[in-house]
Structure 1
Amino acid sequence: MRTSLLAASSVAVLSLGLAGCASGGDAAADGEWPETLTISLVPSVEGADLAEALDPLTAHLSEGLGIDVEGKVATNYTATVESLGSGGSDVIITDAGSLYNAIEQFDAELILRDVRFGATSYAAVAYTNDPDTYCDDEPVMAAYDASGIELSYCNGLEEAGSSAMGEGPVGTEKFAEAAGAKVALQSATSPAGYQYPVVAMREAGLDTDADIDQIPVEGNNNAVIAVANGDAEIGFAYWDARTTVTEEIPDIADKAVAFAYTEMIPNGGVAVTNTLPGDLVAELTTLLDDYADSSDEAADVMFDLVGLSDWTSETAEEEITRYGEILEQFAG
């Protein structure tokens, strides 16, 4: 078992979580399957809708595994790690920071990664209203397929007339030009709105406490709006948060040009305790991996319950490890 480099209390909230009552114990250690498998999560739905939302998923798993699968709720992402470590849950569906902690603290096994709009990770984007300073070339328009609109990019982030891919890091060397600039940053717990951008600016040679004028904003939309309105010369948000303000700012592509992508920020995923038998883990992984494609109802449950379009067994654990390294810089 490895020692955690990151206190669970510093985990940033991004997407999903689990906690519940585990039942693996000695039977699992001996290779026998437990009678009950507990999967619990922090769902998107609340109150009376919870049981109805969970039932299709747990029923699918129970039928496929031939054992009872229970769904229980965690109050937050930190609780998912604590539950796994204490034997309170067998499986956690949680955010990237919690996955990192579960792996580091309790030698959990990462089995799946979350897929949103076809991707398992996303970049933080640097937007500017001053392309003369931060763009080495003329901005071009590329389509953001998830919303069906065209947006502006420079520094080779995207090809003109193509479908934008949002893959970083690209253009981060331009952060060296930001000394003295007003920079819209979100909460220090925000990966795309603060943590990855701050690390990238520091790696470009900026002292983010002394060299820039930090403009606090709440939410990705407000980071974009701050740039569009001229309250900040640079703003950071997830790719591509400009789609959240197109109704109120139709010419957002002119007022906020994307000029840099940070390293990719991982989505969360699914991890299991190391006490479960390997054949059970393999079958569970397959059932979860195939769930979203099993029916229209399953696809709706995935999106409504946990805000995902799919899971994938291509875990890219190195992205989770890197996320933990970045979070460590902001621990405490």
Structure 2
Amino acid sequence: MRKKSLALLTLGTVAALSLAGCSAGTSDAPASDSAAWPESITISLVPSVEGEDLAEALDPLTTYLSDNLGIEVNGVVATDYAATVEALGADQSQVIITDAGSLYNATEQYDAKLILRDVRFGATSYAAVALTNNPDKYCDDEPIKATYAASDIELSYCNGTEKAGTDATGMGPAGLDAFANIKGAKVALQAATSPAGYQYPVVTMREAGLDTDSDIEEIPVEGNNNAVLAVYNGDAEVGFAYWDARTTVTDEAPDVADKVVAFAYTDMIPNGGVAVASSLPADLVEKLTDLMDGYADSSPEAADVMFNLVGLSDWTNDTAEDEIARYGEILSQFQN
């Protein structure tokens, strides 16, 4: 079979790419009903690793795909997620591993096909959690304790977000009626680019009838841990973070489970995933999807590569496109 050659380039802008897209020639791979397979395809991604670790991180994945597809699979590195979309739109890459917003943009702007979703610790999406140090105001019932299984830590929840004595699920939306009580409160919010720390909470507050410019006092924070600590320390009455960021501050705030209560979950925020150009033959897309879906289980090395390369435990072909569409709807409210 044809072996891959790894192209370690940086995608700053599409103009900076020097890789060719799909070759005009044909390979020995089987042709689909509508088109012959290209001799090569290029994957664009934003890896979790840097510098000298890049070749080592990318090589097992591209080799695996090249060997099993019988065509050359190249890998290029994007400087940011938006660059993956630009590369796909210019046919400088035909496969992108990217975040949820870029998946939405790629499907809307370039008719890309969403084929896989990222799986982190068994989940393809997560909620933004609304936290408070004032349960009397925000909880309709007594807070209960449930276990955040990933860290084996018991945390406090109310408004039916979780069930007492069980493993917490983190499934939203839940407890949204309590958002109306946020009016007049100090609210810890992260950067406007943060889905869990800003975008989903702000949209949910607006949907609850709040004017987020005048009805709350925004307390700017950097990072999910600081959003939790702002509530814990009393700098804010309400804060927002990913579920469940309280586990990140247990060293400096060992009684966070008692002092900071989760009273609501927003709609689920989708993980990223994999999209392909509409120009790729359908049977190539099908085989590529199956191979990438099975990559994490193909060997212990592959599982390590998966986590180290893009911080994932798996991919799944259960794409839940409605979550991506909802993300795009919310994202559009924060774009100029």
Please state which band the TM-score falls in when normalised by the shorter chain. over 0.9
For structure 1, the residue ranges without an aligned partner over 5 or more in a row are 1-18
Q: Does 1:143 align with 2:152?
A: no
Change in CA separation of 1:289 and 1:205 when aligned onto 2, cut-off 3 Å = same
For 1:303, the equivalent position in structure 2 comes to: 307
Q: Which moved more, 1:230-239 or 1:21-30?
A: 21-30
CA distance in 2, matches of 1:21, 1:249: 52
Q: Does 1:264 align with 2:268?
A: yes
Given that residues 24 and 90 in structure 1 are in contact (C-alpha distance below 8 angstroms), is that contact kept between their aligned partners in structure 2? no
Offset at residue 53 of structure 1 (A) = 0.6
Q: Which moved more, 1:20-29 or 1:282-291?
A: 20-29
For 2:289, the equivalent position in structure 1 comes to: 285
Given that residues 98 and 273 in structure 2 are in contact (C-alpha distance below 8 angstroms), is that contact kept between their aligned partners in structure 1? yes
Aligned partner of residue 52 in structure 1, secondary structure: helix
CA distance in 2, matches of 1:97, 1:108: 13
CA distance in 2, matches of 1:309, 1:219: 23
1:47-66 maps to which residues of 2 (within 5 A)? 47-66=51-70
Length-normalised TM-score, structure 2: 0.91
The RMSD of aligned alpha carbons is 1.6
- Which among 151, 169, 172 is matched to residue 173 of structure 2? 169
For 1:116, the equivalent position in structure 2 comes to: 120
For 2:6, the equivalent position in structure 1 comes to: none
Offset at residue 21 of structure 1 (A) = 4.4
Q: Quote the sequence identity (%).
A: 73
- Which among 45, 48, 51 is matched to residue 44 of structure 1? 48
For 2:298, the equivalent position in structure 1 comes to: 294
2:166 partner amino acid: S
Given that residues 24 and 33 in structure 1 are in contact (C-alpha distance below 8 angstroms), is that contact kept between their aligned partners in structure 2? no
Offset at residue 166 of structure 1 (A) = 0.3
Change in CA separation of 1:24 and 1:154 when aligned onto 2, cut-off 3 Å = farther
For 2:89, the equivalent position in structure 1 comes to: 85
For 1:11, the equivalent position in structure 2 comes to: none
Deviation string, structure 1 residues 198-224 (Cα, Å, up to 9, x no partner): 000011111110000000000000000
CA distance in 2, matches of 1:106, 1:263: 27
Count matched residues.
Answer: 315
1:235 partner amino acid: G
Given that residues 25 and 39 in structure 2 are in contact (C-alpha distance below 8 angstroms), is that contact kept between their aligned partners in structure 1? no
Aligned partner of residue 97 in structure 2, secondary structure: strand
Aligned partner of residue 261 in structure 1, secondary structure: strand
CA distance in 2, matches of 1:65, 1:189: 37
For 2:186, the equivalent position in structure 1 comes to: 182
Offset at residue 22 of structure 1 (A) = 2.2
Q: Which has the higher contact order (CA 8 A, sep 6+)?
A: 1
CA distance in 1, matches of 2:154, 2:61: 37
CA distance in 2, matches of 1:80, 1:53: 18
2:133 partner amino acid: N
For 2:224, the equivalent position in structure 1 comes to: 220
Deviation string, structure 1 residues 174-202 (Cα, Å, up to 9, x no partner): 11111110000000010000000000001
For structure 2, the residue ranges without an aligned partner over 5 or more in a row are 1-17
CA distance in 2, matches of 1:127, 1:331: 26
CA distance in 1, matches of 2:275, 2:52: 27
Computing the radius of gyration from Cα coordinates, the structure with the larger value is 2
Offset at residue 37 of structure 1 (A) = 1.2
Q: Does 1:23 align with 2:22?
A: yes
1:244-255 maps to which residues of 2 (within 5 A)? 244-255=248-259
For 1:320, the equivalent position in structure 2 comes to: 324
CA distance in 1, matches of 2:155, 2:305: 31
Q: Does 1:129 align with 2:133?
A: yes
Kindly report structure 1 stretches of 4+ aligned residues shifted beyond 3 Å. 24-30
CA distance in 2, matches of 1:287, 1:50: 21
Change in CA separation of 1:65 and 1:77 when aligned onto 2, cut-off 3 Å = same
Given that residues 123 and 238 in structure 1 are in contact (C-alpha distance below 8 angstroms), is that contact kept between their aligned partners in structure 2? yes
Aligned partner of residue 167 in structure 1, secondary structure: coil
Length-normalised TM-score, structure 1: 0.92
CA distance in 2, matches of 1:145, 1:274: 40
Aligned partner of residue 297 in structure 2, secondary structure: coil
Offset at residue 40 of structure 1 (A) = 2.3
For 1:239, the equivalent position in structure 2 comes to: 243
Offset at residue 172 of structure 1 (A) = 1.2
Offset at residue 68 of structure 1 (A) = 1.1
Aligned partner of residue 194 in structure 1, secondary structure: helix
